[in-house]
């Protein structure tokens, strides 16, 4: 008598496990935190190692050039990290997007601090602007702050006391004449991007606050400007390193000194503008 083979005589093959990669978006202090930008290098192209007049191959020169550029960016970041750290908490303050009143106070404090920083304007920079990845309008944060404060004052019926959202006149400290060169602009561009990264994390919550907590749309020119500038961070850093390498060590040192001076001034002004009553 023949028997039908049982299914148990032939064990079923194990099912391949499915793997999924989940991307989590963290929230800190009530607003989205975007990941820190990373310089993404393009795919390497084959290098023909032909000897040169100085005895070095193209590959050796390429490695040395890359190391020199990275050393410049490391020096720039190291020279400014303390000022960037001190400014970050006040620029990306989560309380700024917790209420309409808090948003107005944050705008006023930030505008007051920016008015003390000798940042060139896009009009002053256009003729000698050294970058292609960003337009000189990236330097116009103060103008966007002033516009936001004017719109906020109009929407609230105008200022009635010092503690309300008052559009303070920007006492610009920029008397730039002979000091304004490509190296100064390179340092200012670095500062503009560094500041924009801290402000950009508030953009989503500022939009939400405008939709849900305000009877009229909140002015958000500054935060949207910062978000746009922050997206160009990687391209700007790469172009900045290339420019400094071509310009030479003296120009590179001036970029570092300029960026440090501007960020130190901003960080100190943010502390002052954050005192009670502002």
Which pLDDT score is estimated for 63?
78
Say if CB 160 and CB 213 are below 8 A apart.
Answer: no
Considering only CA atoms, which of 103, 124, 121 is closest in space to residue 223? 103
5-9, 110-114, 218-222, 237-241: least confident range: 5-9
Mean pLDDT across 144-148: 96
Residue 14, in any domain of the structure:
no
Residue 21, in any domain of the structure:
no
Checking if the pLDDT of 122 tops 90, the result is yes
**Residue predicted with more confidence, 112 or 173:** 112
Size of the chain in residues: 278
pLDDT band for 273, please (50, 70, 90 cuts).
Answer: confident
pLDDT digits (tens, 9 = 90+) for 222-239: 999 999 999 999 999 999
Residue 22, in any domain of the structure:
no
- List residues bridging with 37 in a β-sheet: none
**What's the maximum distance between 2 C-alpha atoms anywhere in the chain?**
107
Which pLDDT score is estimated for 225?
97
- List residues bridging with 27 in a β-sheet: 32
Residue 123, in any domain of the structure:
yes
Say if CB 176 and CB 261 are below 8 A apart.
Answer: no
CATH number of the domain encompassing residue 247: 1.20.910
Side-chain half-sphere of 205: how many Cα atoms within 13 Å? 23
> How far is it, in rounded angstroms, from Cα 149 to Cα 155?
10
Say if CB 103 and CB 219 are below 8 A apart.
Answer: no
Residue 189, in any domain of the structure:
yes
Considering only CA atoms, which of 275, 273, 260 is closest in space to residue 113? 273
pLDDT digits (tens, 9 = 90+) for 48-59: 444 555 555 555
pLDDT digits (tens, 9 = 90+) for 234-267: 999 999 999 999 999 999 999 999 999 999 999 9
Full residue range of the structural domain in which residue 200 is found = 66-273
Residue 44, in any domain of the structure:
no
Mean pLDDT across 31-57: 44
CA of 85: how far to CAs of 19, 90, 132, 223, in Å?
38, 10, 28, 19
Residue 45, in any domain of the structure:
no
Which pLDDT score is estimated for 129?
95
Mean pLDDT across 143-166: 72
Mean pLDDT across 31-39: 39
Which pLDDT score is estimated for 25?
39
Say if CB 258 and CB 188 are below 8 A apart.
Answer: yes
Total structural domains within the chain: 1
Q: What are phi and psi of 51, to 5 degrees?
A: -65, 150
**Residue predicted with more confidence, 125 or 56:** 125
pLDDT band for 66, please (50, 70, 90 cuts).
Answer: confident
Considering only CA atoms, which of 122, 84, 126, 90 is closest in space to residue 107? 90
The two three-digit tokens of residue 268, written as one number = 């100190």
pLDDT digits (tens, 9 = 90+) for 132-142: 999 999 999 99
Residue 128, in any domain of the structure:
yes
> How far is it, in rounded angstroms, from Cα 253 to Cα 256?
5
- Name residue, tokens 């190391």: 67
> How far is it, in rounded angstroms, from Cα 205 to Cα 94?
9
Burial of 168 (0-12, 13-18, 19+ CB in 10 A): middle
């Amino acid at each position: 008598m023949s028997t039908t083979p049982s299914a148990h005589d032939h064990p079923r093959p194990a099912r391949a496990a499915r793997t999924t990669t989940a991307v989590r978006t963290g929230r800190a202090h009530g607003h989205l935190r975007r990941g820190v930008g990373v310089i993404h290098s393009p795919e390497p192209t084959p290098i023909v190692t032909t000897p040169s007049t100085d005895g070095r191959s193209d590959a050796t020169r390429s490695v040395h050039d890359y190391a020199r550029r990275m050393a410049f960016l490391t020096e720039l970041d190291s020279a400014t990290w303390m000022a960037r750290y001190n400014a970050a908490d006040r620029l990306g303050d989560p309380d700024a997007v917790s209420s309409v009143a808090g948003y107005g106070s944050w705008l006023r404090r930030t505008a007051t601090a920016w008015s003390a920083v000798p940042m060139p304007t896009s009009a002053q920079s256009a003729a000698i602007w050294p970058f292609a990845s960003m337009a000189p309008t990236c330097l116009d944060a103060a103008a966007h702050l002033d516009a936001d404060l004017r719109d906020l004052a109009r929407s609230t019926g105008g200022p009635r006391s010092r503690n309300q959202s008052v559009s303070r006149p920007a006492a610009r400290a920029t008397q730039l004449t002979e000091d304004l060169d490509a190296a100064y602009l390179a340092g200012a561009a670095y500062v503009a991007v560094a500041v924009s990264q801290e402000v950009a994390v508030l953009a989503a919550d500022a939009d939400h606050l405008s939709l849900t907590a305000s009877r009229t749309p909140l002015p958000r020119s500054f935060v949207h400007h910062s978000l746009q500038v922050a997206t160009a961070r990687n391209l700007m850093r790469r172009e900045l390193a290339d420019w400094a390498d071509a310009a030479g060590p003296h120009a590179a040192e001036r970029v570092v000194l300029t960026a440090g001076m501007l960020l130190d001034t901003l960080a100190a002004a943010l502390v002052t503008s954050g005192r009670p009553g502002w």
